[in-house]
Amino acid sequence: MERYDTPLCADPFARSVSAFESLTGTLSGQAAASWTHAELEEHLEEAGRELLRQLLQDHLDLRSRREEDAVRDGGRPSVTGPDGRLRPWREPGHARWLACLFGLVRVERVAHRGPGLANVHPADAALSLPAGRHSMGLQRLAVLEAVRGSFDQAQQAIERRCGRVLGKRRLEQLVAAASVDIDDFYRRQVPVPSSRDVLLVLQVDGKGVVMRPEALRPATRKARLAAGQGHRSRLAPGEKPNRKRMATVACVFDAAPAPRRPHDVIHPPGGRSTTRKPRPGPRAERKWCTASLVHPPENVIADVFAQAEARDPGHHRSWVVVVDGARHQLDLIQREATRRGCTINVLLDFVHVTEYVWTAAHAFHKPGTAAADAWVAIHLTTILAGQADRAVKEMALQADRIGLSASQREAVDTCCRYLIGHLGQLRYDIALAAGWPIASGAIEGACRHLIGDRLDITGARWGLTGAEAVLKLRTLIDNGDLDAYWRSHTHREHQRLYPTPSQQEYGLTA
């Protein structure tokens, strides 16, 4: 692009005024009188963006002239760099480009120089210009577009709004850079505590993300290489492709207790009566999520426990943890609770229990029949009443009496082993009477929204840095913290780029 011409004139915004008058002249002319509303919108979108760009350019030019006048009239002003050393010389006319929401603008400023020293531009600090070409407003737009769809779609959306100011590769870099302060931001946040009668609910789950080979964990990458998948046209039936890295997702939320009875959750055999409506379960409020592909599960679990402890520092509230039965997650949760000295009430997700019981039901009855539905309703009601061991005995006795085939008996035995192995987390009678949640819908929805709707889109193959950045940013937005975070991130970026001499010893990093 050619150098932007900024001749001195009486009105520093003369070019903007001329552009505005040209726009109003076009709209009041004969040609515009025959335009449809769509043609008017198209013209105003393009001409309006150019007008806004011109306004910004004129303002930057005005500040540049004022800075040069101040340097010229003030003799030799004393400018000290971040290293604490004086820059005695000054040189006007140093320019750089800035890509913003309205297009490209040119920023001219005075460079203060010293022998053997890097130039210092006070105007850069006053404007808080970024290290690269792209403005913070454009970076924020890049984040919003990149976390909702593919990078190609994000780049096209930005080009439609701002013009050709950002390429795809640079977009990916900006998104990664935008997430660097999220962990520190949440360490500084102090949530508002609730009263002791409000439940504190924690949920943890994992979901796989398809990664590039170099981004897989060492064990997965080794299994992938051993299988030789790069030289095979098709996987064997039931074979895992060893191409995913597991992300750990956790959430914590408040909930008012909502006592229920088993028939509020499971309809009795034959269906519900219309005389009494089922009571609703507890509703999640002030939900906060955290997730990571890089950090191990124990770190994510520690983060969610830290958030819970910040909401209840004295451990006065009832802590309810709903899990899907994964043994390693249970061990990590119990270990973290022991380390923090808090009492937790662990429940198995009732939806997972329901799936196992339905599988066992199909060993006795044909799928889709009323008999299968009634069988499931009877056994789930027994489990909800806190008698899971009784349900296991009844299933085993019925299987022995009928004489099931080997495959059918295996389905029943699998259900029985699952229930026996988690009897301590199946006290639904206590949970329903106390008004606790018994299903992990909040974390299942978080996994589907945070990962499934973006990281698991068709054809996506992720590098570790990009996937972690997008996951953290989606989590940040889902928590409703983007505006507060962006103010904090902008401030931290300014500190990193323009440190004062007293900050040198701290070694700020990105």
d(CA 448, CA 5): 52
d(CA 420, CA 165): 61
**119, HSE (Cβ side, Cα atoms, 13 Å):** 13
Q: Is residue 209 helix, strand or coil?
A: strand
Alpha-carbon Rg for the chain in angstroms = 31
**How does pLDDT run along the chain (510 residues), one tens digit per residue?**
444 444 545 799 999 999 999 999 999 999 999 999 999 999 999 999 999 999 999 999 999 999 988 888 876 567 888 888 888 888 898 999 999 999 999 999 999 998 989 899 999 999 999 999 999 999 999 999 999 999 999 999 999 999 999 999 999 999 999 999 999 999 999 888 888 999 999 999 999 999 998 888 888 878 777 776 555 566 666 555 778 999 999 999 999 999 999 999 988 776 666 677 888 999 999 999 999 999 999 999 999 999 999 999 999 999 999 998 888 999 999 999 999 999 999 999 999 999 999 999 999 999 989 899 999 999 999 999 999 999 999 999 999 998 888 889 999 999 999 999 999 999 999 999 999 999 999 999 999 999 999 999 888 899 999 999 999 999 999 999 999 999 999 999 999 999 876 554 444 343
Domain range summary for the chain, segments of one domain joined by +: 1-124, 202-230+239-270+279-447
Nearby residues of 401 by Cβ (< 8 Å), 6 or more positions away? none
Contact 166, 155 (CB under 8 A): yes
How long, in residues, is the chain? 510
Residue 380 is which amino acid?
L
d(CA 373, CA 272): 13
DSSP 365-413: S-TT-HHHHHHHHHHHHHHHTT-HHHHHHHHHHHHHHHT--HHHHHHHH
3-class DSSP string for 59-86: HHHHHHHHHHHHHHHCCCCCEECCCCCE
Contact 252, 308 (CB under 8 A): yes
Q: Is residue 455 helix, strand or coil?
A: coil
Contact 398, 364 (CB under 8 A): yes
**374, HSE (Cβ side, Cα atoms, 13 Å):** 6
d(CA 435, CA 282): 7
d(CA 132, CA 96): 10
This prediction has a pTM of: 0.87
d(CA 283, CA 103): 46
